[in-house]
Amino acid sequence: MAQRGIREFTAKKLIAENIGNYSNNKIELSSKLVLIGEGENLSDYARKPGYEWLKEEKLVVKPDQLFGKRGKSGLLLLDASLEEADRFIAENMGKTIDIGGATGILTHFLVEPYVAHEEEYYLAIETEREKDMIHFSTMGGVEIEENWDKVTSIEIPVGDEVGEINIAGKLPDFDGRDLVAEFIEALYRLFCDFGFTFLEINPFTLKEGQVIPLDMVAKLDDTAAFEMGDKWKDIDFPPPFGQGLTPEEKLIASLDEKSGASLKLTILNPEGRVWTMVAGGGASVIYADTVSDLGFGTELANYGEYSGNPTKDETYIYAKTLLDLMTRKKDPQGRKKYLLIGGGIANFTDVAKTFAGIVQALKEYSEKLRETNVEIYVRRGGPNYKEGLRIMKELEGEIGVPIHVFGPETHMTKIVKMALEE
């Protein structure tokens, strides 16, 4: 599972459009939202049918680029007119700012109605290994961390239904408790059905019998993108603030979006000597942790995974992209580079088929692999793994690159230690 942040605009829109289906239409959230990107003008929206509220109501404006503490950074405009909102966006669009050490450019702003309020509530839902957790407090807002002892936490074990739990009975007594309990129950069902892994609404308020989310942070399991197509539609996964995608990362992300398999690539250090081509999201984390535990964290060049039985062509493109990055430069000190082709024991992925794509790429890059002093370690198990390992071992003599091959009898991460402690 790969957790990816989405814009506040996207999260609010997704929930507003669908929560009625999970509450017998008892819960309705406002869909008055506008996302302004580069080259767009808020006043132009105000002239469109359905956006009259931009002229009729006071507005809130804030950047929507996966970072918080916008108020403390002077990037939150409250109780503004359309003209004031337009001016605020124009003054800040394209501005370079620093947020917690991350430097980036402001490119997107969320605009929604301003809601005067007194009460602020906190709600968060998160997935854990064997359960989901719901956290609620009547003391929401910027001081939530200091008041965490006032938070009510509700555990929902995997397989249990939220309807079987008396949510209202677990909440503190306050005006609006039944409405909030109904909202939590509906939101949790939506959370599960739409592939959320984390959702925080801090704060939200109640007004005239309605729940009004004021600030929202959300993450989705992007490995579910293929099966969530109808629900997510053309959802946008922006990069973390200050971290633009490289052309190679964009290529693999595009490949991933079109595939029923999962293909991920993040470049950590293009000058690094340790590169991984790992099958499985869980395995990729374990390999990265093992490299770091052995003291080579600064040499780890990439993080990523391929899983879900990708085709030969998909693994070929994935491997070719990785090898191109790896072999662009020799190590300045002439040291070896290591390619770790690893993974657990596959359940349904055809190891030989996926290895065929990797082998094709290795053949194409054989000369560069020799020039950059690359050594390859392979560990894999699963359907047709013996044929896959045989093909990989035969390749060693063909391309003149050291390839050490191991099956499921060898511990998954032992190849990391073999390579880095040789």
Q: What is the pLDDT of residue 1?
A: 44
Q: What is the pTM of this model?
A: 0.66
Task: Enumerate the domain spans of the chain.
Answer: 3-30+117-232, 34-113, 247-420
Q: What is the pLDDT of residue 41?
A: 92
Fold match flag (3-30+117-232 vs 247-420) = no
Q: Domain 247-420 carries which CATH code?
A: 3.40.50.261
Domain 34-113's class? alpha beta
Which residues does 79 contact at the CB level (< 8 Å), separation at least 6? 58, 59, 60, 114, 116
Residue where the block lists tokens 């599960």: 192
* Low-confidence stretches of the chain (pLDDT beneath 50): 1
Q: What is the pLDDT of residue 293?
A: 86
Residue where the block lists tokens 């001016």: 87
Find out whether 261 and 252 touch, Cβ atoms under 8 Å. Answer: no
Domain 3-30+117-232's class? alpha beta
Q: What is the pLDDT of residues 85-103, one digit of tens each?
A: 999 999 999 999 988 878 8
Q: 59 has which bridge partners?
A: 80, 113
Q: Which helix (H) or strand (E) holds 386?
A: helix 385-399
Q: What is the pLDDT of residue 2?
A: 59
Find out whether 387 and 352 touch, Cβ atoms under 8 Å. Answer: yes
Q: What is the pLDDT of residues 385-400, one digit of tens each?
A: 899 899 999 999 999 9
Integer angstrom CA distances of residue 209 from 13, 21, 131: 20, 18, 31
Q: How far is CA 356 from the centre of its chain?
A: 29
Find out whether 305 and 279 touch, Cβ atoms under 8 Å. Answer: yes
Q: What is the pLDDT of residue 235?
A: 83
Q: What is the pLDDT of residue 377?
A: 96
- Phi, then psi, of 148 in degrees rounded to 5: -65, -25
Find out whether 178 and 26 touch, Cβ atoms under 8 Å. Answer: no
Residue 79 gets the label, from left (phi > 0), alpha (psi -120 to 50) or beta, of left
Q: What are 203's two structure tokens?
A: 């704060």
Of the CA atoms within 13 Å of residue 39, those in its CB half-sphere come to 0
Q: What is the pLDDT of residue 130?
A: 84
